[in-house]
Chains A and B, each alone.
Chain A
Amino acid sequence: MRYADTYISGVGAFVPRTVVSVEKAVAKGWYPAEEAELHNLAGAVVAGDVPAPEMALHAARSALKRSGRAPADLDLLLYASSWHQGPDGWPPHSYLQRQLVGGDVLATEIRQGCNGMFLALELAAGHLAAVPSRQAALLVAADNYGTPLMDRWRMGPGYIGGDAASALVLTKEPGFARLTSVCTTTVTEAEELHRGSEPLFPPGVTVGRKMSFAARNEQFRQQVMSKGEATAALFKIQRALMEVVERALDESGIKPADLTRVAFMNYSEEIVEQRCMTMLDLPMSRSTWDYGRTIGHCGASDQVLSLDHLLLNGRLGPGDHLLMLGTGPGVTVSSAVIKIVDNPPWV
């Protein structure tokens, strides 16, 4: 979807200072040495017992302050989560309503796994555009994977789970960057990739079943459908990735060579290189992998954390373009293009 006047006015991030290195995880037997060798990841940031909604509040406050907007200016709050946030049934965005934005802002949780922020961007941009008086939206993502029933070191093929939060303030009035396009598509043939052969009922967590996408991916390949069907579905995911990139670049009026940086998910070196950078005919030096490999795959925050890191290190300036790209359960595939218009006031 192409956008004419949708801007990013604030970016927030909460990245825990504690990092558990891959070396330590291998020494402790948490992470296989051959995976360390194969994926060349460096470590994962760990939040300990800091709840995800607390991290979300920090990131949201920072984004709002940096945007120069007041909570009362907001028309929408979208909170993207991929793992449990707090007491079951309790909505995590209500914590931000009470602590920060108040009760008059339409607020809800987005559950689209690691692509949650892309869905939030598309929904928020449409929401603001629908009514002239609407001015600003706060988008937040947060996860803490350091819980029972989840093992961040065996979470999925080619990545390790990091704990963090991120936030964006989207506005119709000009901000430091313009959101030129967001595109999402779903490869429905691969729907079972993230549930494997697990029964739909009762839900796994209610019977204390551990969660691992790695295990479910393996079940999908081996048992769920014929090998031919399963492979054809996985084959389509790469095609969908190419298509959403082509569409987002086309809607933004640019070519891959115009991209200053590409922020994929914080996955293994080979996955980022083969599935993303080489597909775009761009070198790894234009990716955000060098940063991503040090914090781990932080749910729906990876791309916004990379944006924040690039801005703070002066690696994105006026006229530059950033492509954000990701896949999530469903299997959904999303892309977004951001054009930097001005140096952010907080840098």
Chain B
Amino acid sequence: MTELNRRLVDFIQENLVQEGDDIVVDETTPLLTSGLLDSLRTARLLNFLRKDVGVPIPAAKLDSENFQDVATIAAMVRELETV
């Protein structure tokens, strides 16, 4: 697992999984169908990407396809980094 994927998995596990959800996050955990990304937790994830990872995600990229799981998020982040 790449360093970016690891950081994303850890962030989601610690900050977006709520007590009582017995979800163990990995690179392919479905973030939408598991109900993990509501509007507040989406905001938390976007702020982590901008402030900690250093890659702001423009509104135009905020499609559910880009946020299926850690793997797709990481792919989008790498693509944005090269822009």
Are B33 and A234 in contact, CB atoms less than 8 angstroms apart?
no
**What is the 8 Å Cβ interface bit string for chain A, positions 234-264, against chain B (1 contact, 0 not)?**
1111110111001000000000000000000
User: Which one, A226, A228, A231, A242, contacts B59 given CB within 8 A?
Assistant: A242
B residues in contact with A238, CB < 8 Å: 39, 42-43, 46, 62
Question: Do A274 and B35 contact each other (CB < 8 Å), given the known contacts A235-B62, A235-B67?
Answer: no
B27-55 interface mask toward A, CB cutoff 8 Å, 1 = contact, 0 = none?
Answer: 00011111111111011101100110000
Q: Do A227 and B33 have beta carbons less than 8 Å apart?
A: yes
Name, among A226, A238, A275, the residue most crowded by chain B CB atoms within 10 Å (CB to CB). A238
In chain A, positions 126-145 with a C-beta closer than 8 Å to chain B are none
Cross-chain contact B32 with A232 (CB below 8 angstroms)? yes
Considering the complex, give the chain B residue whose CB is closest to the CB of A232.
B64
Within 8 A of A (CB), among B43-83: 43-44, 46-47, 50-51, 59, 62, 64, 67
Decide if B39 touches A275 in the complex (CB within 8 Å). yes
- Cα separation A232 to B34 with both chains bound (whole Å): 11
Assuming the contacts A221-B38, A231-B35, A234-B38, asked whether A274 and B47 have C-beta atoms less than 8 A apart, the reply is yes
Bitwise, A135-161 to B at CB < 8 A (1) or not (0) is 000000000000000000000001000
Complex: chain B residue closest to A270, CB-CB: B40
**Using Cβ atoms and an 8 Å threshold, which residues of chain B touch A242?**
59, 62
CA distance A192 to B62 in the complex (A): 21
Q: Given the known A-B contacts A246-B59, A278-B51, are A234 and B39 also in contact in the complex, defined by CB atoms under 8 Å?
A: yes
Contact A235 B32 (CB under 8 A): yes
Question: Do B32 and A275 touch (CB < 8 A)?
Answer: no
Q: Is the CB of A231 within 8 A of B43?
A: no
Residue A279 at the B interface, CB < 8 A? yes
Q: What number of B residues sit within 8 Å (CB to CB) of A?
A: 22
Q: In this complex, what residue of B is CB-closest to A227?
A: B35
Q: A228-B33, A275-B39 are in contact. Are A235 and B46 (CB under 8 A)?
A: no
Q: Tell me whether chain B's interface is mostly helix, strand or loop, or mixed.
A: helix
- The distance in angstroms between the C-alpha atoms of A230 and B64, with both chains bound, is 12
Tell me if A25 counts as interface (CB < 8 A to partner B). no
Known contacts A278-B43, A278-B51, A279-B46; decide if A235 and B37 are in contact (CB<8 Å). Answer: yes
Alpha-carbon gap, A271 to B30, bound state (A): 24
Interface centre among B31, B39, B59 (most CB of A within 10 A): B39
Residues on A with C-beta less than 8 A from B59 are 239, 242-243, 246
- Chain B residues with CB below 8 A from A230, complex form: 35
Query: With A and B bound together, what is the CA distance between A291 and B6 in angstroms?
Result: 40
**B37 lies within 8 A of A231 (CB):** yes
Do A231 and B32 form a contact, CB below 8 Å, given A221-B38, A238-B42, A275-B39? yes
Residues of B contacting A274 with CB < 8 Å? 40, 43-44, 47
With contacts A226-B33, A243-B59 taken as known, whether A235 is within 8 angstroms of B43 at the C-beta atoms is no
CB nearest to A268 among chain B residues: B40
Query: Bound complex: CA of A228 vs CA of B38, how far in Å?
Result: 10
Q: Within the complex, what minimum Cβ distance (angstroms) separates B44 from chain A? A: 5
Q: Which 8 A-B pairs have the closest CB atoms?
A: A228-B33, A239-B62, A242-B59, A274-B43, A234-B38, A278-B47, A227-B35, A275-B43
Residues of B within 8 A of A (CB): 30-40, 42-44, 46-47, 50-51, 59, 62, 64, 67
Inter-chain pairs besides A231-B35, A242-B59, 16 sampled, C-beta below 8 Å: A227-B35, A231-B33, A231-B34, A231-B36, A231-B37, A232-B32, A234-B37, A235-B32, A236-B62, A237-B39, A239-B59, A242-B62, A243-B59, A270-B40, A275-B43, A279-B46
16 pairs of residues in contact across A and B, judged by CB atoms under 8 Å = A231-B32, A231-B35, A231-B37, A232-B64, A234-B37, A234-B42, A236-B62, A238-B39, A238-B46, A239-B62, A241-B39, A271-B40, A274-B40, A275-B40, A278-B43, A279-B43
